[in-house]
Amino acid sequence: MTHTTSNPKIHEGRNLKRFREMLGIKQDVLAFELGSDWNQQKVSLLEQREKIDSEILEQVSAILKIPSEAIKNFDEDQAITIISSTFNDNAAVVNNNPVFQPIDKLIQLHEEKIALYERMLKEKDEMMGRLERLIRGKSKSELL
């Protein structure tokens, strides 16, 4: 029997979905960022895979701006166990070494994504304005 280092409980596709949803990114937006070969349906199928090809995983992690190891190693059961073990009915638990960095990083990434979408909307509006001016400059017969 061979020993593997990967945890059989970890489902990379589900982890990808969790991180994508935490960042407020829709499947079609992720598909757009991945390129013209991708669509919402293909991203949905990717999220159903237990293992994700390392090249695709690297692309997705770069788009989401999270380490690929986070997607590969996130174990929900382990996270729940850690969270539940920090609470005690009889006494308050004090963590002298709190780590807020991951949450702060997720918030920062979310804000960056919002700024990106706002820039994209602004560029779309500018493009629409240019197209409208171009159309106004053409005669009706040229447009038909």
Task: Extract the tokens encoding 101.
Answer: 């960095």
Look-up of token digits 């820039």? 119
Mean per-residue pLDDT, 46-74: 90
Q: Specify the 3-state DSSP secondary structure of 6.
A: coil
The pLDDT of residue 132: 87
pLDDT in tens, 68-101: 888 888 776 666 565 566 555 444 555 555 555 6
Quick: pLDDT tens for 10-43. Answer: 889 998 998 898 888 999 999 999 999 999 999 9
CATH architecture of residue range(s) 1-87 = Orthogonal Bundle (1.10)
As a whole number of angstroms, the distance between CA 67 and CA 128 comes to 36
Enumerate the H helices of the chain as residue ranges: 12-22, 27-34, 40-47, 54-64, 68-73, 76-85, 101-137, 140-143
For 15, residues 6+ apart whose C-beta sits below 8 A from its C-beta are 70, 71, 72, 74
